[in-house]
Amino acid sequence: DTGVSQDPRHKITKRGQNVTFRCDPISEHNRLYWYRQTLGQGPEFLTYFQNEAQLEKSRLLSDRFSAERPKGSFSTLEIQRTEQGDSAMYLCASSRRDRDTEAFFGQGTRLTVV
Amino acid sequence: QQPVQSPQAVILREGEDAVINCSSSKALYSVHWYRQKHGEAPVFLMILLKGGEQKGHEKISASFNEKKQQSSLYLTASQLSYSGTYFCGTERGGSYIPTFGRGTSLIVHP
């Protein structure tokens, strides 16, 4: 059990470019979450998967954001046509199927849009 | 809906106690508490369930008042290692999705 792994750890991109982040959850964790965190704020929910099914997506999330979890294992988060306001830490978390268990967070991907 | 945490910041000396509060306007199923140190991922502290009892380990404990939709985190005899930002995450029944507050910054001085 190596924990939740995210790649890359840092990404600098020019405005208008597309970026993709990857998250490898703890094996056998069927729930996977994506959060976004900006300085001085708590993690803000983006989307949630149970196995390969995307069950919920934040209403705050624009159509430029898309996430997938093929085969219920790793997940990717893509941001198209990045804007400066997208600059943030993107956190992935996973948890077991059992109700009321902790979510383990990855180290995050820090995105800077210039 | 985002829970409200108070206070926003706490500054302590080693050995002093602190209480961090978390409240929601919605009925809650559970409350999760995490601590995050600068540049690191949030780390789970404990989860409190509706109908459950107060929880704790060592000198950190928490309570959950379902009727008031409030939770409090108690840190006693604080240590330098307690410094960080504490987040509560609240979950409404059936959502499986913790919604986090803005955090409480805790600084413990020698």
Taking the Cβ of residue A38 and every Cβ of chain B, the question of whether any pair is shorter than 8 Å is answered with: no
pLDDT in tens, A9-52: 999 999 999 999 999 999 989 999 999 999 989 999 999 999 99
Distance CA A44, CA A12 (A): 21
What the block records as the tokens of A62 is 């624009």
pLDDT(A79) > 60: yes
Tokens 């803005």: give the residue: B102
Asked if B100 and B5 count as a contact pair (C-beta separation under 8 A), the reply is no
Give Cα A25 distance to the centre of its chain: 11
pLDDT band at A101 (very low <50, low <70, confident <90, very high): confident
pLDDT band at B98 (very low <50, low <70, confident <90, very high): confident
Q: B22 has which bridge partners?
A: B5, B71
With CA atoms as reference, the chain B residue closest to A50 would be B96
Asked if A111 and A18 count as a contact pair (C-beta separation under 8 A), the reply is no
Cβ contacts of B2-5, under 8 Å, gap ≥ 24? B2/A42, B2/B99, B2/B100, B2/B101, B2/B102, B3/B88, B3/B89, B3/B90, B3/B99, B3/B100, B3/B101, B4/B101, B5/B86, B5/B87, B5/B88, B5/B101, B5/B102, B5/B103, B5/B104
User: Nearest CA to A66 among A54, A53, A79?
Assistant: A79
Taking the Cβ of residue B32 and every Cβ of chain A, the question of whether any pair is shorter than 8 Å is answered with: yes
pLDDT(A102) > 70: yes
Distance CA A35, CA A9 (A): 15
Taking the Cβ of residue A10 and every Cβ of chain B, the question of whether any pair is shorter than 8 Å is answered with: no
Closest Cβ opposite residue A103 in set B44, B95, B103:
B44
With CA atoms as reference, the chain B residue closest to A38 would be B102
**What is the predicted pLDDT for the residue at B92?**
79
Taking the Cβ of residue B40 and every Cβ of chain A, the question of whether any pair is shorter than 8 Å is answered with: yes
pLDDT in tens, B23-67: 998 888 889 999 999 989 999 998 888 776 666 677 899 999 888
Instruction: Residue B99: list chain A partners with CB under 8 A.
Output: 45
Length of chain A: 114
